[in-house]
Structure 1
Amino acid sequence: MRRSLLLATSALALAFTPAHAQQALPETIVTATRIPTEQARVPAAVTVLTRQDIEERGWRSLAEALATVPGMRLVQGGGLGQQASAFLRGSNSRHVLVLLDGVPVNDPSEPNGAFNFGNEMLGDIERIEVVRGPGSSLYGSGAIGGVVNMITRRAPMGTPARAFGDLAAGSNRTLRGVLGLEGTTPTTDFLVVGQSMSSRGSDATAPRFNANTGEREGFTGAAGTARLGWAPVEGSRVEGLLRWRENGAGLDNIPRDDPNNEQTDRRLYGQLRGETALLGGAWTTGLRAAVTEDRRRNVNLPDGLNPTRTDDLFRGTRQVLDWGNRVRLGDLGPLEEAGIAFGATHERESSDSQAGSPPFRTSVDATARNTAFHAGAQARVLGRLDLSAGLRQDLAEDYDGFTSWQLGAVLALPEAQSRLRASAGTAFKAPSLYQRFGRIGTSFRGNPDLSPERSFAWEVGGETDIPLFGRDDGATLGATWFDTRFRDLINFNAAFSTLENVERARARGAELSLVLRPMPWLDASAAWTVTETRDEATGRPLPRRPRNVLTLAARVAPTDRLVIAPELLFTGPSPEGAFAAYDNTGRSFTSITYNKAGTVLNLTGSYRVSEGITAYAEGRNLTGSRFEPANGFVVPGRSLLAGARFTF
């Protein structure tokens, strides 16, 4: 019955000409193909979150922003600084690849190679591009569920030197500040940004536990970004970027708080790249070198609840050397606006980590290297059919390499104000350094013979504009149907002494959307994701993947000075794995249980006081929901932040 309902829902959406709503103005996407392409011509489901979205909706972290993306389910154990995992289209949290300006930043010292979305503040981020579906043909390991690319701010051309900033304060003793300087000259551009935030925080442990002490988990964070670009001649550019971020936060525990559990998380990132145009601008070639260093420390001092001392240190580094090319071929017979992209990437990642206490002390001291070659092509046929293809070969030193591919097509139907798209491809996740070389005392050894986790996925979808309210696009209906099969997933062997490629799973569903534009000053949108997952060995649903996720949002601008942006996030019941769920007494369940559904209401209002000053107020969880995204951990309580953004 559930499967029939899902199929019927998707069929109904496709009848309306299916995908999530796009902006009315053309949007150029870089992440999806490595060639700047209009969003309407990209054969993948893409969501773009702009600087305007970040400010008008009051998103304080990357996790808050991504919670609104169709197909994305964010699970966070508390507020800023707390672990936040992303489950994209039913994939595992380690199957989402995160980029900063096109460079992978997943921490090599994280045991599964997953990314913590709860650490990133957004003061220096210009836009976030989220490409759903397999992306390994472009970016290699980790891009099974999709790719998230954070693109840092850059001074617009023709901008004289100017300062900008953001100062705010609010409940829970929260203080936030951003201060920056940017500008351009005829041949250079520069940007310097500093940001910080501190908060007493809230209690992330569910109040339903009998042993809950109500302890708040505070947060302090700071980050600095510097960019310098030089364009000596037209078509050539050299750019350097440095970014530092360091956070400190208290950690909650379930079913009982631990008052001395603290963590710090620091990332250093540097990138130097140059590119130049050849053959009259038809061929652009570029070289990029980047280094990322992550350092995480977790300290838990002895107390009345726990007499042991924990001092965990995780250190991971990633070095990337990338050569990339874009060639615009123009019209070739029946092919129009043809282009190709090709290049090579070399990565070196290492982990030097120690965690836990004897006899269960965990250690990793390992290095891995990988070289990859990639190529892609795209063209238009008959003025309305966009075709694309991508191929990548990864050649790793210490595990089997992988060949990934992707094919896609987009058909424009201007007569019906619609477009259809379809794509299919493969992706993989390399075994992490911990999975291959980690040790836990004398009882566990990693498996250096592990194979990559792999997937095959396809999707079909599209969207259509419906004339309403006196305009051609008064409403936009969209839908995407997706299906992913996972193979060779890594899990413990029966003796828990090592790891094996033993699991298989499947995820499928539909992303449905509706945008209404009834008035020039009002836009309203709804995004509903229906996901069905299954462990193919047990037949059970995969943990923490709810069947239904719904986002309702609006932008109300009754004057050119005032913007009101409400946001309602609904998450349906989600399964929780055995031994990961607790009743009110703290007793764990030995079978699959379900987390209850929950709803969170956010509201942000902005008022432009003058040309360079905008005042705002951000309300979070205004109904005081005690929703548990993961069993035992509640969303932060009701809060209010007020401040002003300025430019001068």
Structure 2
Amino acid sequence: MRRPAVPPAPLLAALFLLAPLPVAAAAGEDPTVVTALPEVVVTARRPDNDALARTPAATTVIDRATIEERGYVSLADALSAVPGLRVVQTGGPGQQASVFLRGTNSRHVLVLLDGVPVNDPSDPGAAFNFGDELVNLDVERIEVLRGPASSLYGSQAIGGTVNIVTRRAPADRAFAPFGEVAGGSSRTLRAGGGVAGTLDRFDYLLSLNTLSTRGFDATAPRFRSNTGEDDGFRGAAATARLGWRPNDTSRIEALLRWRENHFGLDEVPEDDPNHSGESRRWYGQLRGETTLFGAWTTGLRVARTEDRRRFVNEPDNNSLAATRDLYRGERTVLDWGNQLRLPDLGPFTDSHLAFGATFAREEVRQASGSAFFRTTVDARSDSGAGHLSWQARLGRLDLSAGLRGDAVEDAGSAVTWRTGAVLQLPEIASRLRATVGTGFAASSLYQRYGRIAGFFSGNPDLRPERSLSWEVGVDTDIPVGGTADFATLGATYFQTRIRDLINFDAAFTTLENVDRARIRGAEFSLTLRPAAWLSTTAAYTITDARDRATGERLARRPEHQLSVNASLKPLPGVTIAPEVLFTGRSPEGAFASYRDDGTAFTEARSNKSGTIVNLVGTWQVTEPVAVFVEGRNLGNSRFEPANGFVVPGRSLLVGTRLRL
């Protein structure tokens, strides 16, 4: 049903809020860092190195240099080596890619674009498709915060957040062109470009990015019914950013971003040559901020996101059934944020206070499935939140704490908190950190108001899913031969308990808060810098995610993951970047696993482990111009992240890039 308009949900006051905004590492640093309070409220900028070490939150930052060096094109590619994160994609670009962060559900990962939530409200679980986004041109960095972040961002941030930060104009040039052109295997063509610059108090950035490819067959070749039909992709994205500084302490900025993809889809266990999809998103925001009295920065932002997804499958020789699915999701956000630098008080120094309020409205119109089994949603929901945070230094100890209150129309309210500390031990070049916090995920509009006539009705009385998490970690630099950071070791142990998980009732006629989960694991990292021309990083994750009632492992969460990346610079201007990604066995649910003859298992099975090897070489011909070669899945692995769907096959691309 369609929800009537109601006044905004009440804004809840709070006492403390941990504010671990994922922010970028300083240039040249290792991409795995921890982060602190943002320097400003609305506009994400780089903090100094001291700020990066002040928060207990485990964060990975994939900066612009890393994106180019490793040849990342899609968001799913860029996240594949992040510790504690598992990407499951059922095909190539455009096709569904889910992320499981520290063993939590895919709907428990909140995705932000320049700090604004962009999870699709029309998705049944309000999850995000990580296979849709291209990051090779207009993205400056990607920030991944592991662990609960509801005390900062609200609903869905139980497992963590992924913040996509778009590029900005250089402050020292009035006109700066940038772009790239590449082509190669499977008739792949990648092309894009843009201009950016600063003119006195105005700055601008305009860009257009395109990708087309014949693609690969996503259906596993082991199936006897496989026909080898490839799934093509055509996508484009455009970004426009305009900024103005009326004075030295204020800024007004407008951002507009459009993205549209068209792609083929496969079925399991058979190819389906006429099953296709398209996905489009419009995103815009207007924001301004100013600094008052030299210590108080306040900012206001209004943002709008519109998602449209359409899937079509006409009758053919494989099936007489017809599918015409349409999903429309819209979100409007009004956000007021503040950061106040406090004077020293007794032993407490370098203190900051952050506070603010948010109002959001989500709307969904969806119709999917056959005429006999048609799923529909037509609903709207408002939500409001208030938050406050504090961070300070006490000698060698950095403290942070916080609380946030959220109220979601017809989905309940939640108060979440997070607190932690970091102890600096310079005598042994180490940093000890610990944090504990809570998270929540409100039910989606589909879960509340979805309907299949005669079969299923959503449940507007669902309670929010809730979690309690804690982690402890240590980071240590090891000096060798006069090099202070010859090696860096990192280790983190984490544990999460989730209750009131939403699932179907026994008759599959509605949804209930019936499940609980227990997750524990450890993340280990080792970075070696034996020479100025060589560095390498290995990250190993162990995850044990189980249903608390049955003790069974949760689907698609591998127990072991390993990523190894290196950067070799054997000659001036030449960089070679190999990457090895290993994923251990992972469970697959009943009726989601298929034998080679295409029949389904009626009990849960495991997907086999797999290894993918990528290699990128870059020659910086001049300061702005580079040529590169990208080789992906060089071993032509037939690894199945989800049962029946294989990773794209071996590919090779050659191109040139003009840096901003």
TM-score by length of 2: 0.93
Per the alignment, residue 387 of structure 1 pairs with 399
Give SS of 2:595's match.
coil
Please tell me whether residue 133 in structure 1 is matched to residue 150 in structure 2.
Answer: no
Please tell me whether residue 630 in structure 1 is matched to residue 642 in structure 2.
Answer: yes
Per the alignment, residue 371 of structure 1 pairs with 384
1:153 counterpart letter in structure 2:
R
Please tell me whether residue 301 in structure 1 is matched to residue 319 in structure 2.
Answer: no
Please tell me whether residue 329 in structure 1 is matched to residue 336 in structure 2.
Answer: no
Q: In the superposition, relative to structure 1, how do residues 32 and 443 fare at CA in structure 2: closer, same or farther (>3 Å)?
A: farther
* C-alpha displacement of 1:160: 2.4
| Cα pair 2:640 2:646 within 8 Å, conserved | yes
1:489-523, Cα deviation, whole Å (9 max, x unpaired): 00000010000000000111000000001111000
* C-alpha displacement of 1:428: 0.6
Give the Cα separation in 1 of the matches to 2:551 and 2:483. 48
Give the Cα separation in 1 of the matches to 2:629 and 2:306. 35
Give the Cα separation in 2 of the matches to 1:535 and 1:28. 30
| Cα pair 2:61 2:142 within 8 Å, conserved | yes
Per the alignment, residue 224 of structure 1 pairs with 238
Per the alignment, residue 446 of structure 1 pairs with 458
Per the alignment, residue 13 of structure 1 pairs with none
Equivalent of 1:180, from 182, 194, 198? 194
Give the Cα separation in 2 of the matches to 1:35 and 1:392. 20
Give SS of 1:53's match.
helix
Give the Cα separation in 1 of the matches to 2:204 and 2:551. 55
Per the alignment, residue 6 of structure 1 pairs with none
Which region of structure 1 is more displaced relative to structure 2, 261-270 or 153-162?
153-162
Give the Cα separation in 2 of the matches to 1:491 and 1:647. 48
Give the Cα separation in 2 of the matches to 1:629 and 1:40. 35
Q: In the superposition, relative to structure 1, how do residues 162 and 22 fare at CA in structure 2: closer, same or farther (>3 Å)?
A: closer
| Cα pair 2:34 2:55 within 8 Å, conserved | no
Give the Cα separation in 2 of the matches to 1:110 and 1:388. 34
1:314-339, Cα deviation, whole Å (9 max, x unpaired): 00000000000000113221111000
Equivalent of 1:490, from 502, 510, 531? 502
Equivalent of 2:228, from 203, 209, 214? 214
Give the Cα separation in 1 of the matches to 2:524 and 2:31. 20
Percentage of pairs with the same residue: 61
| Cα pair 2:191 2:210 within 8 Å, conserved | yes
Please tell me whether residue 60 in structure 1 is matched to residue 73 in structure 2.
Answer: yes
| Cα pair 2:35 2:55 within 8 Å, conserved | no
Give SS of 2:360's match.
strand
Equivalent of 1:512, from 512, 520, 524? 524
* C-alpha displacement of 1:23: 8.2
Give the Cα separation in 2 of the matches to 1:23 and 1:593. 44
| Cα pair 2:35 2:54 within 8 Å, conserved | no
Give the Cα separation in 2 of the matches to 1:430 and 1:643. 45
1:295-444 alignment, distance < 5 Å = 295-382=308-395, 384-444=396-456
Give SS of 2:172's match.
coil
* C-alpha displacement of 1:469: 4.3
* C-alpha displacement of 1:158: 1.4
| Cα pair 2:526 2:538 within 8 Å, conserved | yes
1:148-159 alignment, distance < 5 Å = 148-159=162-173
* C-alpha displacement of 1:31: 7.8
Please tell me whether residue 499 in structure 1 is matched to residue 511 in structure 2.
Answer: yes
Please tell me whether residue 619 in structure 1 is matched to residue 631 in structure 2.
Answer: yes
Give SS of 2:144's match.
strand
1:224 counterpart letter in structure 2:
A
Please tell me whether residue 113 in structure 1 is matched to residue 126 in structure 2.
Answer: yes
Please tell me whether residue 466 in structure 1 is matched to residue 494 in structure 2.
Answer: no
Equivalent of 2:285, from 256, 264, 271? 271
Per the alignment, residue 251 of structure 2 pairs with 237
Per the alignment, residue 18 of structure 2 pairs with none
Give the Cα separation in 1 of the matches to 2:210 and 2:490. 39
1:343 counterpart letter in structure 2:
G
Equivalent of 2:219, from 205, 208, 223? 205
Give the Cα separation in 1 of the matches to 2:65 and 2:560. 28
1:62-118, Cα deviation, whole Å (9 max, x unpaired): 000001100000000111011000000000000000000000000000000110000
* C-alpha displacement of 1:400: 1.1
* Structural RMSD (CA): 1.5
Give SS of 2:53's match.
helix
Give the Cα separation in 2 of the matches to 1:188 and 1:560. 37
1:446 counterpart letter in structure 2:
G
* C-alpha displacement of 1:538: 1.3
* C-alpha displacement of 1:277: 0.5
Q: In the superposition, relative to structure 1, how do residues 273 and 76 fare at CA in structure 2: closer, same or farther (>3 Å)?
A: same
| Cα pair 2:34 2:54 within 8 Å, conserved | no
| Cα pair 2:121 2:362 within 8 Å, conserved | yes
What are the ranges of 5 or more consecutive residues in structure 2 without an aligned counterpart? 1-24, 41-46
Give the Cα separation in 2 of the matches to 1:331 and 1:232. 31
Q: Number of matched residues?
A: 626
Give the Cα separation in 1 of the matches to 2:553 and 2:659. 50
Give the Cα separation in 2 of the matches to 1:33 and 1:22. 15
Q: In the superposition, relative to structure 1, how do residues 450 and 34 fare at CA in structure 2: closer, same or farther (>3 Å)?
A: farther
What are the ranges of 5 or more consecutive residues in structure 1 without an aligned counterpart? 1-20
Give SS of 1:154's match.
coil
Give the Cα separation in 1 of the matches to 2:30 and 2:582. 30
* C-alpha displacement of 1:289: 0.1
* C-alpha displacement of 1:470: 3.4
Give SS of 2:344's match.
strand
Q: In the superposition, relative to structure 1, how do residues 445 and 628 fare at CA in structure 2: closer, same or farther (>3 Å)?
A: same
Give SS of 2:621's match.
strand
Give the Cα separation in 1 of the matches to 2:482 and 2:349. 35
Give the Cα separation in 2 of the matches to 1:230 and 1:27. 31
Which region of structure 1 is more displaced relative to structure 2, 408-417 or 464-473?
464-473
Q: In the superposition, relative to structure 1, how do residues 81 and 25 fare at CA in structure 2: closer, same or farther (>3 Å)?
A: closer
| Cα pair 1:26 1:39 within 8 Å, conserved | no
1:236 counterpart letter in structure 2:
S
1:376-411, Cα deviation, whole Å (9 max, x unpaired): 1100001x2110011100022212100000001111
